[in-house]
């Protein structure tokens, strides 16, 4: 694939994630974070299952299963923190902090994969983080003004701090994601992994349904 194709795919993924955040915040914010995460993941299950039916099972070595076992609890933790941030914070105050994921990835990529960036890569990553900071200056839902507004949000908004934690976790799972792909395959793991995360959340449903019912009732009454 050419650079234009990769750019289009990356922009499409970013647009899809932002749309999912808006829909989750608009229609499912009355659910607890677990319910928000489950609804969000279940929506993709039929499509991923169709893709999975057309895939052949690659040869999976023990390192793959070790990587997967390490990723799943981290992914669930990140998802729950993500949903909690969306629940308690304005989107424009918390989502920009996800742009710090590639900053953390400079270290986690080296730690997990032994990969390092040259000076241009570091400069580009820094520009992404600075750009996100600048976007935070013009956030519609911000309570503070001035150059230090995003830092004030980070200090006083729980959702902003939660999202920064999510960015740190995602930097680790992103590196592990690539390691898992190297031990399986891009299409296979891309379809299988969200299904595995969803399955893990669904398996915990009996422990969370008592918490879900009051939230669902309030959602319906509203």
Residue 221's pLDDT band (boundaries 50, 70, 90)? very low
d(CA 120, CA 207): 48
Q: Does 48 map to a domain? A: no
Helix runs in the chain, H state only: 3-27, 33-42, 45-53, 62-88, 91-94, 101-113, 119-137, 149-156, 158-182, 186-203, 205-221
- As for how many domains the chain has, the answer is 1
Residue 11's pLDDT band (boundaries 50, 70, 90)? confident
- List, for residues 26-39, the tens digit of each pLDDT value: 889 899 999 999 99
Q: Does 9 map to a domain? A: no
Q: Does 18 map to a domain? A: no
Q: Does 153 map to a domain? A: yes
d(CA 156, CA 162): 11
Q: Does 209 map to a domain? A: yes
**Structural domain span for residue 184:** 61-216
Q: Does 193 map to a domain? A: yes
- List, for residues 154-201, the tens digit of each pLDDT value: 667 788 889 999 999 999 999 999 999 999 999 999 999 999 999 999
- Report pLDDT for 150: 67
The helix/strand/coil state of 89 is: coil
């Amino acid at each position: 694939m050419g650079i234009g194709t990769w750019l289009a795919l990356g922009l499409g993924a970013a647009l899809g994630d932002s749309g999912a955040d808006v829909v989750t915040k608009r229609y499912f914010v009355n659910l607890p974070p677990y319910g928000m995460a489950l609804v969000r993941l279940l929506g993709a299950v039929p499509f991923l299952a169709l893709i999975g039916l057309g895939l052949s099972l690659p040869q999976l070595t023990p390192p793959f299963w070790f990587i997967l076992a390490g990723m799943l609890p981290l992914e669930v933790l990140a998802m729950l923190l993500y949903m909690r941030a969306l629940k308690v914070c304005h989107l424009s105050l918390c989502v920009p902090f996800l742009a710090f994921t590639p900053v953390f990835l400079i270290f986690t990529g080296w730690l997990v994969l032994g990969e390092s960036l040259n000076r241009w890569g570091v400069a580009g990553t820094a520009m992404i983080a600075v750009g996100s900071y600048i976007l935070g200056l013009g956030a519609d839902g911000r309570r503070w003004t001035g150059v230090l507004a995003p830092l004030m949000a980070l200090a006083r908004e729980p959702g902003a701090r939660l999202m920064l934690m999510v960015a740190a976790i995602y930097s680790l799972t992103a590196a592990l994601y690539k390691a898992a792909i190297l031990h399986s395959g891009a299409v296979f793991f891309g379809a299988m992994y969200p299904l595995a995360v969803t399955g893990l959340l669904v398996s915990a449903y009996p422990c969370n349904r008592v918490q879900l019912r009051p939230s669902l009732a309030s959602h319906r009454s509203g």
